[in-house]
Amino acid sequence: MAGAPVNDDCAGAVAVAIPSITTGDNTLATAEPNSITSLPTCGTSISTTGHSMWYTVVGNGNGIEVSTCDPNTGFDTKLHVFTGDCNSLVCLTANDDNFDCNFSGLSSTVNFCSDNGVEYHILVQGFSATSLGRFDLHVSDTGNCRGSCCLSDGTCLANQTATGCATAGGTFNGIGSDCNGVVCTGACCLADGSCIYGSPDACATAGGTFQGLGSDCNSVSCPILPSNDDCTGAIAVAIPSITAGDTTTATADVAPFCGTSDGTGGGLWYSVIGDGTTLTATTCSAATTFDTKLRVYTGDCNALVCEGGNDDDSSCTFSSLRSTVSWCSSVGVEYKILVHGFSTATGQFELTVSSSGLSCLGACCLPDTSCIGPVTATACATAGGAYQGDGTDCNTVVCAPPPANDDCSGATALAVPSMVMGSTALATDEANNVGTCGTTISAPGVWHTVVGTGTTIEATTCFAETDYDTKINVYTGDCNNLVCVGGNDDSFGDVDCNFPRGIGLPSKFSWCSSTGVTYYILVQGFSGAVGNYKLMVSDDGLPCLGACCLGDGNCVDNISATTCSGLGGRFTAGATCGSVICTGACCIDANCVYGTSDDCATAGGAYQGDGSDCNSVSCTGACCMNDGTCAQLSASACATAGGFFNGNGTDCNSVSCTGACCFNDGSCSNLSSDDCATAGGTFQGFGSDCNSVVCPIPPANDDCANAIPLSLPASVLGNNELATVDSPGTCGTSVGTVGDVWYTVVGTGNQIRLTTCAPGTNFDTKIQVWCG
């Protein structure tokens, strides 16, 4: 590019000294090519649009700082430092924003430990294509950056960087340290409570817990670890059984992910032999004192295979932070149970292992009415069958054929309106071509069809006869190419829909139908649920398609209100474009012109509606002033005058320019806005009246001057529902837009903790603390 700086690309990088300040300007520089922007990054990404310039510096063996933090840097920068040559760059360090910079947090600073004689490439970029201008690049020597490094085998490496030490898996002992002054061994606590000295590796080999470099057996306390601290020591438990345990002195485990992840607190192991039933392991007990996790495995301790896991059991009546796992066990198979805590949590627990008492295998009825089994419910679903329940047997079950409307192609036609009883108990899983539509497909279902009426159709299972958790999906198209219309899982918020077992479990979905179009309705269930349902389809009898006037004056026919709104148009139900007018009167100040809504908006006017006419509209109206007077003005003139516009065509003789004024004692007077403010009241709006408004009485501590004093320690119940909003300013957090109340506390010289974290708090709170 003509005029680009010489160091616009890596090959033309300008050498800078240590120390140095170099001025640059990236205005005429170009963005980096893909060969640079696609490089693996570190610290921050390489901008694909920012104009950039290159520099080099030769390392002197010390720490080097590179920074654009300077009052002359006038834009948002990025910095990258690379090793290697321009054809094989490797990112060493990078920074986008240096918030410690006194001049601008959008400047950048990097620090790295250099190798003597090694050349480093520095890339200075703008954050984006508009980040342009002058910058000053500072390069400085930060002194020694090396020290000793203890490796896990107990040896020591001298003259290492912190990064190099970490790469070697070692522990960096600090800048300036050397191997003569450090100890690379330490105390190692063994499971029996004894202590030995050694390296971290030697400690691990001995099965111990390393206490840290330089630690001493004379100064550490080595707890005796539980016998089941690791997998190989798992304690066998019976079915059923209740076992007490305590993870306080246990060590953390690293086991394969299984329903939930590792914690860093201690864990204990147990084992149980499967009996062919569904087994459940749970810590849901009043005796469990911490936030637990459970994982269940098969296999040996060196090759564990996940069976199932759980962090939080929301159904536990003692605490949702307890854990429960259920699984189908195989006769004679050993299952290993790991009990541990969330994050660092440890403590006492009670582990209960129980059985369902039934075989977790059962009969599986296939669509052709044949039976296979015993199999698991999962295996039955995979085979496309209907699981008959735990403990069932093909010799005793009768495999009835699925319903006639089990598949889309056999959908039962329904009239609008109509009501029908149905069941999904013998239905099979849906074909792969039935995708998520408003809600997922999660259980076997049956199909119905209705023909669109041009009105809004509603399908609902909200009846007492519906005895399971349903879902509804609606499609158009044909069975080989279904097109989603929408769907619903739970009809939450519908107070009239309280079947079964509480509000929300039935389903209800409505849509704007097109006349003559066939709609496919799938009735299915949540999370595998099947059962009986009552389905009603009805319509509101009102056209839901119509004409849509667009802002440019054009019209779209046969469209729904939702689609029209998405186009930014104005909808007229049941109308056609031949029966609507998509232009109208436009009030510009006090003048009226005729045109489209877009033209009116461009001219800064107020559109009076499709089909309106300048002969029948008034472009002025009553304008209430804060002093209680009224003037006949245009909307814009009223706004300029600081008044309240009552609407075009209104008249000062027919509006009230006073209103109710509420005072802090709950009293009310009809005043002008200005008089209300002067009297210290809260104006309730023009035209409001004391006979129709209720003036709340704010809490006694509604303002700072009346703050309630608290004595430490203190616990107080408060309410801000009738409080007013204060504006003391930002202090740790911004002031909210709802009412607030005030308290005072006298300092004690100690740390004071304030919290609204209590069962009596029922909204999202903020706390600010002020002095003065």
Shortest CA distance to 558 belongs to which of 583, 579, 581? 579
- Boundary (domain end) residue, out of 522, 543, 564: 543
Q: Do 177 and 147 meet the contact criterion of CB atoms below 8 Å apart?
A: yes
- Mean pLDDT of all residues belonging to the chain: 91
- Is position 193 within any domain? no
Distance of alpha carbon 105 from alpha carbon 100, whole angstroms: 7
Q: What is the 3-state secondary structure (H, E, C) of 418-438?
A: EEEEEECCCCCCCCCCCCCEC
The verdict on 671 and 754 lying in the same domain is no
Q: Do 274 and 332 meet the contact criterion of CB atoms below 8 Å apart?
A: yes
**How many residues belong to the chain?**
772
Q: Do 131 and 106 meet the contact criterion of CB atoms below 8 Å apart?
A: no
The verdict on 524 and 444 lying in the same domain is yes
The verdict on 468 and 426 lying in the same domain is yes
Q: CA 525 → CA 2, 238, 294, 411, 631, distances in Å?
A: 67, 37, 29, 17, 63
Q: Tokens 């430490």 map to which residue?
A: 712
At 556-569, the pLDDT tens digits run 998 888 889 999 99
Number of H helices, E strands in the chain: 8, 50
What spatial distance separates the first Cα and last Cα of the chain, rounded to whole Å? 61
Distance of alpha carbon 219 from alpha carbon 221, whole angstroms: 7
Distance of alpha carbon 549 from alpha carbon 610, whole angstroms: 8
The verdict on 414 and 525 lying in the same domain is yes
Q: Dihedral, CA atoms, 536, 540, 541, 543, nearest 10 degrees?
A: -120
At 174-198, the pLDDT tens digits run 999 999 988 999 999 998 889 999 9
- pLDDT-based confidence at 410, cuts 50/70/90? very high
Q: Dihedral, CA atoms, 370, 374, 375, 377, nearest 10 degrees?
A: 80
- pLDDT-based confidence at 494, cuts 50/70/90? low
- Boundary (domain end) residue, out of 647, 682, 697: 697
The verdict on 687 and 737 lying in the same domain is no
The verdict on 155 and 239 lying in the same domain is no
For residues 2-30, give the mean pLDDT.
94
pLDDT for position 632: 92
The verdict on 334 and 236 lying in the same domain is yes
Q: Residue 467 belongs to a domain with what CATH number?
A: 2.60.120.380
Sign of CA dihedral 244, 245, 246, 247: negative
- pLDDT over 70, % of the chain: 97
- Is position 389 within any domain? no
Distance of alpha carbon 135 from alpha carbon 6, whole angstroms: 16
- Nearest-5° angle of CA 392, CA 444, CA 506? 110
Residue 379 has phi, psi (to 5 degrees) of -65, -35
Distance of alpha carbon 437 from alpha carbon 449, whole angstroms: 16
Buried/exposed code over 402-436 (b: 16+ C-beta within 10 A; e: otherwise):
bbebbbbeebeebebeeeeebebebbbbbeeebee
The answer, yes or no, to whether residue 503 has pLDDT greater than 70, is no
For residues 103-130, give the mean pLDDT.
92
Q: Do 475 and 513 meet the contact criterion of CB atoms below 8 Å apart?
A: no
Q: Which two tokens stand for residue 606?
A: 């107020």
Which residues make Cβ contacts (< 8 Å) with residue 327, sequence separation at least 6? 278, 279, 296, 307, 308, 335
For residues 691-704, give the mean pLDDT.
87
Distance of alpha carbon 520 from alpha carbon 449, whole angstroms: 5
Q: CA 521 → CA 196, 238, 475, 606, distances in Å?
A: 72, 50, 7, 45
What's the chain's Rg over C-alpha atoms?
37
Q: CA 447 → CA 460, 466, 535, 621, 768, distances in Å?
A: 14, 16, 11, 58, 58
Q: Do 264 and 343 meet the contact criterion of CB atoms below 8 Å apart?
A: yes
pLDDT for position 476: 96
For residues 614-629, give the mean pLDDT.
92
- Boundary (domain end) residue, out of 510, 543, 576: 543
- Is position 71 within any domain? yes
pLDDT for position 497: 67
pLDDT for position 101: 87
Q: pTM (2 decimals)?
A: 0.44
The answer, yes or no, to whether residue 622 has pLDDT greater than 80, is yes
Q: Do 429 and 522 meet the contact criterion of CB atoms below 8 Å apart?
A: no
- Is position 573 within any domain? no
pLDDT for position 502: 40
Residue 579 has phi, psi (to 5 degrees) of -110, 0
Among 138-152, 330-344, 484-498, 660-674, the range scoring the smallest mean pLDDT is 484-498
The answer, yes or no, to whether residue 758 has pLDDT greater than 80, is no
Q: What is the side-by-side order of every strand in the sheet holding 186-189?
A: 195-198, 186-189, 209-213
- pLDDT over 90, % of the chain: 65
pLDDT for position 720: 84
- pLDDT-based confidence at 432, cuts 50/70/90? low
Distance of alpha carbon 67 from alpha carbon 136, whole angstroms: 8
The answer, yes or no, to whether residue 723 has pLDDT greater than 90, is no
pLDDT for position 664: 81
Q: Do 55 and 124 meet the contact criterion of CB atoms below 8 Å apart?
A: yes
The answer, yes or no, to whether residue 501 has pLDDT greater than 50, is no
- Is position 370 within any domain? no
Q: What is the DSSP letter of 755?
A: -
Distance of alpha carbon 238 from alpha carbon 241, whole angstroms: 5
Tally of domains within the chain: 6
Distance of alpha carbon 117 from alpha carbon 465, whole angstroms: 84
User: Helix H segments across 375-481?
Assistant: 377-382
The verdict on 353 and 424 lying in the same domain is no
Q: What is the DSSP letter of 356?
A: E
The answer, yes or no, to whether residue 2 has pLDDT greater than 60, is no
- Is position 366 within any domain? no
At 358-401, the pLDDT tens digits run 888 999 988 788 999 899 888 887 887 888 888 899 999 989 88
For residues 197-222, give the mean pLDDT.
92
Q: Which amino acid is at 18?
A: I
The verdict on 355 and 244 lying in the same domain is yes
Q: Which two tokens stand for residue 404?
A: 């006639």
The verdict on 680 and 742 lying in the same domain is no
- pLDDT-based confidence at 713, cuts 50/70/90? confident
475 or 647, which is more confident: 475
Q: Which two tokens stand for residue 121?
A: 């490439």
The verdict on 673 and 706 lying in the same domain is no
Among 45-59, 133-147, 660-674, the range scoring the smallest mean pLDDT is 660-674
Strand partners, 277: 359
- pLDDT-based confidence at 103, cuts 50/70/90? confident
The verdict on 352 and 429 lying in the same domain is no
Distance of alpha carbon 33 from alpha carbon 48, whole angstroms: 8
- Is position 634 within any domain? no
Q: Do 602 and 663 meet the contact criterion of CB atoms below 8 Å apart?
A: no
Distance of alpha carbon 535 from alpha carbon 419, whole angstroms: 6
- Is position 264 within any domain? yes
Structural domain range at position 175: 147-181
Give 477: exposed, middle or buried? Use CB within 10 Å, 0-12, 13-18, 19+: middle
Q: What is the 3-state secondary structure (H, E, C) of 61-84?
A: CCEEEEECCCCCCCCCEEEEEEEC
pLDDT for position 504: 44
At 245-270, the pLDDT tens digits run 999 999 899 999 999 999 888 999 99
Q: Do 158 and 179 meet the contact criterion of CB atoms below 8 Å apart?
A: yes
Shortest CA distance to 690 belongs to which of 733, 659, 727, 736? 659
At 510-538, the pLDDT tens digits run 999 999 999 999 999 988 888 899 999 99
pLDDT for position 1: 45
- pLDDT-based confidence at 493, cuts 50/70/90? low
Q: Do 717 and 681 meet the contact criterion of CB atoms below 8 Å apart?
A: no
Sign of CA dihedral 248, 249, 250, 251: positive
Q: Where are the beta strands (DSSP E) in 74-185?
A: 77-83, 90-95, 109-113, 119-126, 134-143, 147-150, 156-160, 171-175
